[in-house]
């Protein structure tokens, strides 16, 4: 560090020399003092020289301390700069490593998610609607192609319309009109599927309580129509539950608990579904 030059005082320096060099400005004055003349003036010069020497020492000491402080400050700043640079490099390196690790973990997570297949879908709960309507007697009253039963009436595998009405009105409906199975227990999320494999239309309508259908001629004695069946096919809620020969109806999203389904035409066709 460059500073002002210090005042150096050689060991051979005398008050007379100092007086002559620092104080006396004229040649005559220096000569008088060197020859011992004009002692009063020389004495004054000697006192002045002493004061100048003391002042020079003080200045030298102050300059030394100032240089030491500057040196210490410069060294501290240099070390601090080195520490800051090193910390910055370490921080940048750590951030880069974190980004690389995070990217690798993200890719691994995506690969792991892709490799995990979704759980298999639950199989549907399958029901079948059955009947043995006699095409001849049913179609004669209800219209052509109303009954499309493939049963062989000649071999006793069909029920005439009159027999169906008589059995229902006496409280003994034909067991050949049925949902199979009658009840089932399934886990939540299972879709209930119903296919009509009989010869005439049916409904698969959920009701609060088993009761009669919307055709009073097919209800048991004293049996009233279930509120959910009222209005028949003129009611959208009932029409949405209709199934015809060969068609399938699916009922998804059943809540946990017991669910009752019946046919609103043939009310003795009943199913209980327990969702666990």
Same structural domain for residues 20 and 56?
Answer: yes
| Residue carrying structure tokens 């999203």 | 253
Identify the CA nearest to 126 among candidates 276, 267, 249, 268: 249
- In tens, the pLDDT along 113-139 reads 445 666 678 899 999 999 999 999 999
Same structural domain for residues 72 and 195?
Answer: no
Same structural domain for residues 27 and 82?
Answer: yes
The residue out of 73, 95, 115 marking a domain boundary is 115
Same structural domain for residues 23 and 90?
Answer: yes
Asked, for residue 99, whether it belongs to a domain, the answer is yes
Helices 135-142, 161-169: inter-axial angle, 10-degree rounding: 80
Q: For residues 211 and 204, is the Cβ–Cβ distance under 8 A? A: no
Residue 177 maps to which CATH number? 2.60.40.420
Question: What are all long-range contacts of 254-258, with beta carbons under 8 Å and residues at least 24 apart?
Answer: 254/188, 254/190, 254/192, 255/188, 256/188
Q: CA 141 from chain center: how many Å?
A: 63
Asked, for residue 10, whether it belongs to a domain, the answer is no
Same structural domain for residues 150 and 268?
Answer: yes
- In tens, the pLDDT along 89-114 reads 556 555 665 556 556 665 555 555 44
- In tens, the pLDDT along 208-255 reads 999 999 999 999 999 999 999 999 999 999 999 999 999 999 999 999
**pLDDT exceeding 90 applies to what percent of the chain?**
51
On the question of pLDDT at 67 being above 90, the answer is no
Asked, for residue 120, whether it belongs to a domain, the answer is no
- Residue 21: what pLDDT? 47
Q: How far apart are CA 172 and CA 218, in angstroms?
A: 11
Asked, for residue 82, whether it belongs to a domain, the answer is yes
Q: For residues 132 and 199, is the Cβ–Cβ distance under 8 A? A: yes
Residue 10: both structure tokens together = 């050689």
Residue 88 CB burial class (10 angstroms; 0-12, 13-18, ≥19):
exposed
Q: For residues 168 and 220, is the Cβ–Cβ distance under 8 A? A: yes
Evaluate the CA torsion angle 214, 219, 221, 224 in order and state its sign.
negative
Identify the CA nearest to 263 among candidates 164, 186, 178, 143: 178
- Residue 16: what pLDDT? 46
Which range of residues forms the domain containing residue 88?
A: 15-115
Same structural domain for residues 197 and 130?
Answer: yes
Q: How many CB atoms lie within 10 A of CB 156?
A: 9
Per the omega criterion (within 30 degrees of 0), is the bond before 79 cis?
A: no
- pTM, whole model, 2 decimals? 0.58
Q: How far apart are CA 63 and CA 274, in angstroms?
A: 101
Q: What is the mean pLDDT of residues 259-275?
A: 98
Asked, for residue 100, whether it belongs to a domain, the answer is yes
Instruction: For the chain, state the CA radius of gyration.
Output: 59
Q: In this predicted model, which residue has the larger pLDDT, 105 or 13?
A: 105
Asked, for residue 146, whether it belongs to a domain, the answer is yes
- In tens, the pLDDT along 156-180 reads 779 999 999 999 999 999 999 999 9
DSSP symbols for 94-123: HHHHHHHHHHHHHHHHHHHHHHSPPPPPPP
Number of domains in the chain: 2
Determine if residue 232 is left, alpha or beta; phi over 0 gives left, psi from -120 to 50 gives alpha, anything else beta.
left
Same structural domain for residues 194 and 255?
Answer: yes
Same structural domain for residues 90 and 136?
Answer: no
């Amino acid at each position: 560090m460059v500073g002002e030059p210090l005042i150096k005082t050689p060991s051979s320096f005398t008050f007379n020399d100092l007086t002559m060099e620092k104080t006396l400005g004229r040649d005559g004055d220096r000569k008088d003092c060197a020859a011992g003349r004009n002692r009063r003036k020389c004495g004054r010069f000697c006192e002045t020289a002493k004061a100048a020497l003391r002042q020079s020492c003080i200045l030298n000491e102050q300059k030394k301390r100032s240089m030491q402080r500057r040196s210490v400050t410069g060294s501290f700043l240099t070390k601090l700069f080195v520490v800051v640079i090193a910390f910055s490099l370490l921080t940048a390196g750590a951030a880069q490593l974190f980004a690389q690790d995070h990217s690798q973990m993200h890719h691994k997570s995506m690969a792991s998610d892709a490799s995990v297949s979704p759980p298999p879908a639950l199989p549907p709960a399958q029901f079948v609607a059955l009947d043995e309507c006699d095409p001849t007697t049913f179609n004669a009253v209800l219209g052509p192609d109303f009954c499309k039963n493939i049963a062989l009436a000649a071999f006793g595998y069909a029920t005439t319309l009159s027999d169906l009405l008589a059995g229902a009105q006496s409280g003994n409906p034909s067991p050949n009109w049925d949902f199979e199975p009658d009840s089932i227990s399934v886990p939540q999320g299972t879709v209930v599927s119903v296919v009509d494999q009989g010869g005439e239309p049916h409904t698969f309508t959920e009701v609060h309580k088993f009761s009669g259908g919307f055709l009073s001629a097919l209800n048991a004695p004293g049996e009233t129509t279930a509120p959910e069946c009222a209005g028949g096919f003129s009611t959208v809620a009932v029409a949405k539950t209709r199934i015809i020969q060969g068609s399938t109806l699916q009922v998804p999203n059943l809540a946990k608990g017991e669910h009752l389904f019946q046919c609103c035409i043939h009310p003795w066709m009943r199913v209980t579904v327990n969702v666990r």
